[in-house]
Amino acid sequence: MIDKNSPLPIYFQIEEQIKRQIESGEFQAHNALPSEREYAEQFEISRMTVRQAINNLVNDGYLYRQKGRGTFVADKKLEQQLNGLTSFTEDMKARGLNPSSKLLSFEIIPANKKIANELHISTYAPVYEIKRIRLADDVPMALETMYMSANLIKGLTEEIINLSLYQYIENYAKLKIDYATQTLESAIASDTEITHLAIPKHSPILFIQRNTFLQDGTPLEYVKSAYRADRYKFTINITR
Amino acid sequence: MIDKNSPLPIYFQIEEQIKRQIESGEFQAHNALPSEREYAEQFEISRMTVRQAINNLVNDGYLYRQKGRGTFVADKKLEQQLNGLTSFTEDMKARGLNPSSKLLSFEIIPANKKIANELHISTYAPVYEIKRIRLADDVPMALETMYMSANLIKGLTEEIINLSLYQYIENYAKLKIDYATQTLESAIASDTEITHLAIPKHSPILFIQRNTFLQDGTPLEYVKSAYRADRYKFTINITR
DNA sequence: TATTATAAGTTGTCTAGACCAGTTATGGAG
DNA sequence: CTCCATAACTGGTCTAGACAACTTATAATA
C-alpha cells in the first residue's frame, strides 16, 4: 500500500489511499477509520506521519475527528443554492431536509456602533437581537444572530419569529423587502460556534453577513450566520 | 511570551502571538518571520510544536512558506464583489487594480460529455476552448478555462478575446445575455494551478463555475475559474 | 572581475517515543 | 440483574533529535 522508497512523501501516499477509499465507497460517511496507532503499526511508520496525513484530510473536509472516539468519514458537501433572497427554511426544503430553529435568545438591546452603522440608526437606539441555531433534520447547520431596528418593526414576539418573520414584515408591517447584500468569508470556529454547532475544535466556518434593505433603501435587518463549512457549497443565480 | 504551565496548548499561544503581531502591524505583509528553529530556541520548545502553530496560520491564510527561504506574512484578503454579471475586468478595475490576461491556448475541440451537457449541445460538437491566466497589476489571480459552442458564436478570434468578448457577442453576434449561475467551491491547487498562479503547494483555491445563458435559455458559455483563495472574499448583491 | 564550488541557512519529512484527556467496553460488587 | 470503578481504547500535545531538498551568502578559483 505504502512505498517508503517513493519520492512521494509517505503522508501524501496515505492521503491518496484514504481519499480513494472514500471515493470508491469502501469508506462510507460517518464510518470510523482505523485508529492512528493502527495505521502506524500497519505501515511501520511513526504515528506523527499518520497524523500529518489525517490532518490534511481533516483540513480538506474529507474527515473529522472526535477526541477519545476516533476519526470518521465526513459527509459529502451539500450544494447550497443562493437563489435570490432564499431563506434558510426554503433552502433546506429544496434539499429535501426538514428545517427547524432553536431560539437561543430574543431581547431588545441598545445598538452598538457596528449595529447602528449597519442599520443606519443612532447608537443606543433599541434593536432586536435574535440568536438562533438553524437545524436541518435536527442537525445543527448554522448559528445565526439577527439585528433589526425595534423602531421599524414593532411588536415582534417569539411566536412571530417561530412562524414566519418575513411574512409578518411584508403583510402586517407593510414593508417591502427589496434587495440584500451577502458577504461570504471563511474562518475558524469560535468556542461558541463549536458548542452550538457540535463540531470539533478548529473547524472551518463559513461566515455569511446579510444586509437586507427595503424598497426605499432603509436597512431592514443585519444578520450574521456561521455555517458549518463542511456542509456547504454555494450556488448563486444571477439575473440581470 | 509563552506560558508552559497554561492549560492553553503552546502551539495555540504562538498562533495568537503571531496573529497579534500581524494585526498590530509589527509584522508587515511579505516580511519574513523568525525561522522555526529560532522560535524553538527562544521558547525552549520542540521545532515540531512551532511547526504546528505555523501550519495552522498557513492554513488560515495568515502566513505562507517557501522551502529554503522562510515563512512570510501573507497579504490581507481582498474583498471580491460579485455584482451581478461582473466580469473579471470590471471587478479588478473597481478595486483600483489593472486587469490583464495572458492567453494560454485558444482552439476548437470536440465537446466531451461534461461540456456537451453544460452547453446543451451534442457530444463531439465543436466548441471553443479558451484558457487564460487572469492578472491584476501583473499578479496572477486566476486560471480560467472557457467553453463556448462554435456553432453559436462564429468567427471568434484571438483578437476579439483580447478586446471585449461580451461586447462582440451582444453587438455583433446579436445575442442577449440574460442570466448566469455561479457555483463556489474551495479546493487544493493542482499542479497546473500551482505553476500558472505561482503559488505554493497545497494552496487553497476557490473554484468558480459560471454558466451563462441567453434570453431564450440557450447556454452561452461554461467557464471554470481557479482563483487564489488567499486573495479573495466574496460579496454578493441580490436584487429581486 | 566573474564564475563556481561550498557552507550555512531555510522549510519538508520522519522517527520513536511520552504523557494528557476524553470515551467506551469490561468486569466485579451489590 | 443494575451500577460503578477501572482498564483499554481513542485523539491531542509535545519532545529531541535526524536527514533531505532547496536557497542564498560566502569564499575559493579561473
Using alpha carbons, select from B66, B2, B10, B70 the residue that is nearest to residue B36: B70
pLDDT-derived band at A84, boundaries 50, 70, 90: very low
First to last CA, chain A: 53
d(CA B129, CA B150): 9
Tell me: the pLDDT tens digits for B152-195? 988 888 888 877 787 788 777 777 777 788 776 656 567 888 88
Percentage of chain A modeled with pLDDT above 70: 85
**Between the CA of A70 and the C1' of C21, what is the distance in angstroms?**
14
Rounded to an integer, what distance in angstroms lies between the CA atom of residue B96 and that of residue B80?
12
Going along chain A from its start, the domains and CATH numbers come out as 10-73 (1.10.10.10), 78-235 (3.40.1410.10)
Q: What's the pLDDT score for residue B199? A: 76
Mutate to test the interface with B, among A58, A238, A239, A240 (most CBs of B within 10 A): A238
| More confident position, A239 or B103 | B103
If contacts are CB pairs under 8 Å, which of residues 9-68 in chain A contact chain B?
Answer: 48, 55-56, 59-60
The C1' atom of C16 and the CA atom of A202 lie apart, in whole Å, by 28
- Measured between CB atoms, which of A84, A85, A235 is closest to B181? A235
CB contact under 8 A, B235 and A184: yes
The total number of residues written for chain A in this structure: 240
CB-nearest to A240 from B179, B202, B234 is B179
Identify the pLDDT of residue A189: 66
Angular region, A120: left φ>0, alpha ψ -120 to 50, beta rest: left
Q: Would you state the pLDDT for residue B233?
A: 63
Question: Which amino acid appears at position B175 of this protein?
Answer: L
Nearest chain A residue (CA) to B51: A52
Report if pTM > 0.80. no
B101-111 pLDDT, tens per residue? Answer: 899 999 999 99
CA distance A144 to A205: 12
Nearest Cα to Cα of residue B187 among A13, A186, A236, A25: A186
pLDDT tens profile B161-170:
877 787 788 7
- Identify which of B59, B177, B236 has the shortest CB distance to residue A59: B59
Instruction: Count the neighbouring beta carbons within 10 Å of the beta carbon of residue A191.
Output: 8
Q: Locate the chain B residue with the closest alpha carbon to A51.
A: B52
Q: What angle do CA A46, A52, A57 make, to 5 degrees?
A: 135
Measure the CA–CA gap between A151 and A60, rounded to whole angstroms. 45
Contact assignment for A184 to B234 by CB distance below 8 Å: yes
Report the C-alpha gap between A84 and A178 in whole angstroms. Answer: 11
Q: Which residue of A has its CA nearest to B79?
A: A183
Instruction: Confirm if B71 and B32 have CB atoms less than 8 A apart.
Output: yes
Question: What is the C-alpha separation between A141 and A143, in angstroms, rounded?
Answer: 7
Angle at CA of residue B144, ends B141 and B149, nearest 5°: 160
Residues 6+ apart with CB under 8 A from B14: B2, B39, B43, B49, B50, B53, B54
3 state SS of B7: coil
